[in-house]
Structure 1
């Protein structure tokens, strides 16, 4: 993965609002939302997902893995997951591809949180269960630091019941998964429990932005995690409280896209924001041509790819849109 690097004697690089170029690319083969895409071997992978366009009898979820080749601007199907799954965290690390947790059909419901750690075996062209998380986990955030996967926040079952969305509660967990030993260790917890946030690594520091609490609504808070001292720190809050958003690093800044809210009938956020860690400052960078939530964003080859999602709050109007965002 390559990013544009700018060296200006420690002066942060700033874009002017509206200086982005949005280019529509080939649509997904299946419109999906609640996805966490990953760049693996220079292609974009989308594993599973929810969709208003899929049958209710299958939980409106898919097991299909969709792979995008940016050079040919084409999608193809990859090895399918063992079962339909949504809100599963897809992470590429050390030339390996893992999927953590998410919701599956089990225990009589379509929102049963999973402990599965799946890994793609490129030779066998199938997904293998290689480990289990300490507890079922979904709607979490991930990043990679020091060649290990961090899983932070999300939702986990409150009791033995684990079948429906309402069986889950917000958590502040912070786990570190070692892809070599396939073991998970406990790390310092996030200062507050939440779900549906977004996260990135910027300058070797992890950032977790936004999210929501089921009883507290959307959150604008931003937390950074320094792996050197193993401490969390609060940063300047986002201009808007957003959940179900996507984030990526571009031009040495953190970028966020989309998200949803449920007040006054609900809706989807359209403004694009960038955050400079150097001066702890947020700046608007125009608006999304197709605002949506439950979407994914990845950085690849000097651009951000904004993938899928839904154009209305909740499980409605799921989109197959793929956009490439670059500098004009």
Structure 2
């Protein structure tokens, strides 16, 4: 019986792990971190970003929009943003591309949170401001549920001061943006105020994982949200408390990758974690070829693309690396 049990356990692990393969793709044109890419019209878009490789006089941020075509494995520039911007939330919904909030150069600083809602006008090939958030918001994450954009958690100014990172505080914001009416409504708040989390959608539900509370450090919490009954539910926590991570859903599993920590001098997470929705548990699935934080993750052609980020904690060693993760 013991042998049978061990065999079943090994088979369960193999089914969970599957077979992973990594492939390096063409580098970004501009190395960037603190990005939230989106798949739009079959291509990957990266809008703005922060970089240790960019000049300090421009706030080490860029207005560049970089577009990746997976068929040709090439990057090209798209219509630039109105100004340099980082930590802006890029979202494709209903054949439209929007950018929400983020940090810009304003008020004498490089970390002025923006309330802008920008939209890419395909005819004019430029970004237009189409709405404003109820208050400036950055380091937020998002879902698209039932054709609407949910903005979750992040950081927002605590007073009139809005120029430096320390002018902001963690928030439990949960806003819903209608891309047709451009109206923003409020939904049940995130269970805890935090920033630098990750968010995915699976079978009509939203999942929010990880993140950071400035006073308390990284979080391992995972919560799901059911838009139909407007309720949050706590799930199995992540094995490691991670912030500045990326996440994606592929082959019926939730994948969590990268992030940074600041204890004992700080560092970057290297383990790849997968959460089984059916088994409701986490399992390590090897290591990232290039561990980094502040990276983006999107699913395209039945694989996960990991984009940019930084290989050292903070604003250091910003990377142009793009890697494709395939799961058999």
Name the TM-score, length of structure 1 as normaliser. 0.95
Equivalent residue number for residue 161 of structure 2: 161
Distance in structure 1 (CA, Å) of the matches to 2:261 and 2:61: 22
Equivalent residue number for residue 190 of structure 1: 190
Instruction: Measure how far apart 1:19 and its partner are.
Output: 2.2
Q: In the alignment, is the contact (CA less than 8 A) between 2:27 and 2:320 conserved in 1? A: yes
Instruction: Measure how far apart 1:226 and its partner are.
Output: 0.5
- Deviations 1:7-62 (CA, angstroms, capped at 9, x unpaired): xxxxx997454721000000000000000000000000000000000000000000
Distance in structure 2 (CA, Å) of the matches to 1:46 and 1:117: 16
Q: Which has the larger radius of gyration?
A: 2
Matched, 1:261 2:261: yes
Distance in structure 2 (CA, Å) of the matches to 1:160 and 1:111: 14
Instruction: Measure how far apart 1:277 and its partner are.
Output: 1.7
Equivalent residue number for residue 181 of structure 2: 181
* Structure 2: gaps spanning 5 or more residues: 1-11
- Deviations 1:150-209 (CA, angstroms, capped at 9, x unpaired): 000000001110000000000001000000000100000011100000000011110000
Matched, 1:226 2:226: yes
Name the TM-score, length of structure 2 as normaliser. 0.95
- Deviations 1:215-273 (CA, angstroms, capped at 9, x unpaired): 00000000100011100111000000000000111001111110000000000000001
Equivalent residue number for residue 9 of structure 2: none
Q: In the alignment, is the contact (CA less than 8 A) between 2:251 and 2:327 conserved in 1? A: no
Distance in structure 2 (CA, Å) of the matches to 1:73 and 1:13: 33
Matched, 1:240 2:240: yes
Distance in structure 1 (CA, Å) of the matches to 2:15 and 2:138: 35
Number of aligned positions between the proteins: 317
Higher relative contact order (CA 8 A, sep 6+): 1
In terms of fraction of residues, the more helix-rich structure is: 2
Quickly say closer, same or farther: Cα 1:157–1:94, change in 2 above 3 A.
same
Q: In the alignment, is the contact (CA less than 8 A) between 1:13 and 1:252 conserved in 2? A: no
Equivalent residue number for residue 4 of structure 1: none
Distance in structure 2 (CA, Å) of the matches to 1:100 and 1:157: 16
Quickly say closer, same or farther: Cα 1:178–1:13, change in 2 above 3 A.
farther
Distance in structure 2 (CA, Å) of the matches to 1:18 and 1:77: 36
Equivalent residue number for residue 138 of structure 2: 138
Equivalent residue number for residue 71 of structure 2: 71
Secondary structure of the equivalent of 1:191? coil
Q: In the alignment, is the contact (CA less than 8 A) between 2:245 and 2:258 conserved in 1? A: yes
Secondary structure of the equivalent of 1:31? coil
* Structure 1: gaps spanning 5 or more residues: 1-11
Distance in structure 1 (CA, Å) of the matches to 2:18 and 2:288: 10
- Deviations 1:87-136 (CA, angstroms, capped at 9, x unpaired): 00000000000000000000110000000000001110000000000000
After TM superposition, where is structure 1 displaced by more than 6 Å over at least 4 residues in a row? none
Secondary structure of the equivalent of 2:264? helix
Equivalent residue number for residue 327 of structure 1: 327
> Which structure 2 residues correspond to residues 1-328 of structure 1 after superposition, within 5 A?
15-17=15-17, 19-327=19-327
Instruction: Measure how far apart 1:279 and its partner are.
Output: 2.3
Distance in structure 1 (CA, Å) of the matches to 2:89 and 2:14: 31
Instruction: Measure how far apart 1:327 and its partner are.
Output: 2.4
- Deviations 1:58-99 (CA, angstroms, capped at 9, x unpaired): 000000000000000000000000000000000000000000
